[in-house]
């Protein structure tokens, strides 16, 4: 996925008259820079750390950190790879996930801009953070690098800010009052045409106290930072359609989408106007054993390999049961599902589920050359070891990507998390 969610890999066009200086480096079909160097950024709570990445040897070395005003939620690089935009909040599950307290909404939310040092990858804060009205859950930058877009989950919505010529965040762009933003926005993405924006709205599953809130893909026309309602894609009225994340195929008109609670991957064909088709072309399970679902089993982040031949999905499980007075992992699939993509039709075929060696990989990243994948295991969690207990720490797990798309585990790096701070986000950015 540019490189990210994360590695967000987008083919980008760059209009010199509209965007900050420098040349865009595309990561759609291979290395995004002449050097081949990349940096991995990983956030534990409000600390965002840089890791040097040796792609050939599949190693990480922690190098430096910066602090944010709140827990990091997501980040996205500018298409020039000169800047990184980081959304943060003092609310959300990253503060409450390790406790029994209700999820806090918080009262401080924003997006901060950082300059990326081209030699080292280190981050330098630039300008003032843009204040946001509520917790940001996802952030992206449009194709021309002129605006940063932020999705908010509660209340569901999207905000847009201009990007100044020096990379700092400028004024908010006012949006029409009648925007249809659905229920529980979870991701916002800009189509490669820069004329269409998709807001992935997850909805909410049913509970004993309230019925299901339907999910949908909300499609907007996009013009110089201004959104306008175009369409809503909601198969079955949006029920049993808990859409979470999507990714665009780098060369074909296909959109790949994960359904969180349904543990599915769906494929939509983009129509001539950039809108996804009303119904999916293909629906596939992401789990190795879909017949034996555990509580809190969910599909998560999705990324397409830069060659367009494979697609990867994170499967997450984090439910617990009481054991000797302690809450311990009750089982489920924490793995990366690997699918091959039919080059003629876009149909995905599950070819591997590989354990992430940790708990609940909320995000993962592919490097721009597609040779390694790094999964960010979000939570430390106690597990049974015979009649005893042990803690599986949060970690960054590194995998090699084979020529056939399958993954080989290489090593993992334990990360200190806890006390309400988790390994909530990680992404890879190409360096010049």
144-187 per-position pLDDT tens digit = 999 999 999 999 999 999 999 999 999 999 999 999 999 999 99
315 band by pLDDT with thresholds 50, 70 and 90: very high
CA angle 120, 416, 90 (to 5 degrees): 85
Please give the residue range of the domain that contains residue 317: 38-430
Domain count, the chain: 1
In this structure, what token pair is assigned to residue 60?
A: 């990480």
Mean pLDDT (the chain, rounded): 90
DSSP 8-class letter at 215: P
In a domain, 225, yes or no: yes
Q: Where are the beta strands (DSSP E) in 91-193?
A: 109-116, 123-131, 136-141, 147-153, 156-163, 169-172, 185-190
CATH code at 380? 2.130.10.10
Distance CA 148, CA 159 (A): 8
Strand order in the sheet with 298-304: 298-304, 310-316, 335-341, 348-355
Strand order in the sheet with 264-269: 243-248, 254-259, 264-269, 282-285
Best CA proximity match to 153, nearest among 132, 129, 130: 132
Residue 59, CA distances (Å) to 1, 9, 40, 90, 379 in order: 21, 21, 11, 32, 21
In a domain, 168, yes or no: yes
SS3 of residue 94 by DSSP:
helix
92 band by pLDDT with thresholds 50, 70 and 90: confident
Q: What is the pLDDT of residue 74?
A: 98
Best CA proximity match to 356, nearest among 318, 404, 324: 318
Task: Answer whether 335's CB lies under 8 Å from 356's CB.
Answer: yes
In a domain, 13, yes or no: no
In a domain, 157, yes or no: yes
Best CA proximity match to 262, nearest among 232, 237, 236, 293: 293
Q: What is the mean pLDDT of residues 218-234?
A: 98
Q: What is the pLDDT of residue 419?
A: 84
In a domain, 276, yes or no: yes
Task: Answer whether 339's CB lies under 8 Å from 267's CB.
Answer: no
In a domain, 414, yes or no: yes
Q: What is the pLDDT of residue 25?
A: 36
Say yes or no to pLDDT of 99 above 80.
no
DSSP 8-class letter at 212: P
Question: 245-300 pLDDT, tens per residue?
Answer: 999 999 999 999 999 999 999 999 999 888 999 999 999 999 999 999 998 999 99
SS3 of residue 91 by DSSP:
coil
In a domain, 368, yes or no: yes
In a domain, 12, yes or no: no
């Amino acid at each position: 996925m540019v490189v990210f969610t994360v590695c967000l890999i987008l083919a980008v066009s760059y209009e010199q008259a509209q965007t900050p200086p420098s040349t865009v480096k595309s990561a759609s079909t291979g290395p995004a820079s002449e050097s081949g160097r990349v940096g991995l950024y990983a956030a534990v709570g409000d600390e965002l750390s840089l890791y040097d990445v040796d792609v050939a040897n599949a190693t990480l070395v922690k190098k430096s950190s910066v602090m944010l005003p709140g827990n990091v939620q997501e980040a996205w690089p500018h298409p020039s790879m000169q800047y990184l935009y980081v959304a943060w909040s003092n609310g959300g599950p990253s503060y409450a996930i390790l406790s029994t307290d209700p999820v806090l909404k918080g009262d401080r939310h924003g997006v901060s801009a950082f300059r990326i040092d081209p030699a080292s990858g280190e981050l330098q804060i630039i300008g003032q953070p843009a204040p946001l009205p509520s917790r940001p859950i996802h952030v992206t930058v449009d194709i021309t690098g002129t605006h940063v877009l932020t999705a908010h989950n509660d209340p569901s919505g999207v905000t847009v800010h201009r990007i100044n010529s020096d990379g700092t965040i400028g004024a908010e762009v006012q949006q029409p009052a009648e925007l249809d933003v659905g229920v529980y926005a979870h991701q916002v993405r800009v189509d490669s045409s820069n004329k269409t924006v998709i807001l992935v709205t997850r909805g909410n599953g049913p509970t004993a106290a309230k019925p299901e809130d339907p999910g949908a893909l909300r499609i907007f026309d996009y013009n110089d930072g201004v959104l306008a309602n175009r369409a809503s894609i909601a198969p079955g009225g949006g029920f049993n359609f808990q859409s979470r994340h999507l990714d665009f195929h780098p060369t074909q008109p296909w959109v790949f989408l994960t359904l969180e609670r349904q543990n599915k991957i769906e494929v939509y064909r983009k129509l001539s106007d950039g809108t996804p088709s009303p119904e999916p072309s293909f629906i596939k399970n992401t789990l190795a054993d879909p017949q034996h679902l555990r509580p809190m089993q969910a599909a998560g982040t999705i990324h397409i390999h830069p060659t367009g031949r494979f697609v990867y999905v994170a499967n997450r499980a984090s439910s617990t049961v009481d054991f000797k007075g302690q809450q311990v992992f009750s089982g489920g699939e924490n793995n990366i599902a690997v699918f091959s993509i039919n080059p003629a039709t876009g149909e995905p075929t599950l070819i591997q589920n590989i354990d992430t060696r940790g708990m609940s990989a909320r995000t993962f990243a592919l490097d721009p050359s597609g040779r390694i994948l790094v999964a960010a295991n979000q939570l430390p969690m106690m597990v049974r070891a015979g009649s005893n207990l042990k803690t599986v720490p949060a970690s960054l797990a590194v995998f090699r990507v084979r020529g056939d798309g399958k993954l080989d585990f290489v090593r993992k790096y334990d990360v200190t998390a806890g006390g309400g701070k988790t390994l909530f986000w990680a992404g890879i950015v190409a360096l010049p």
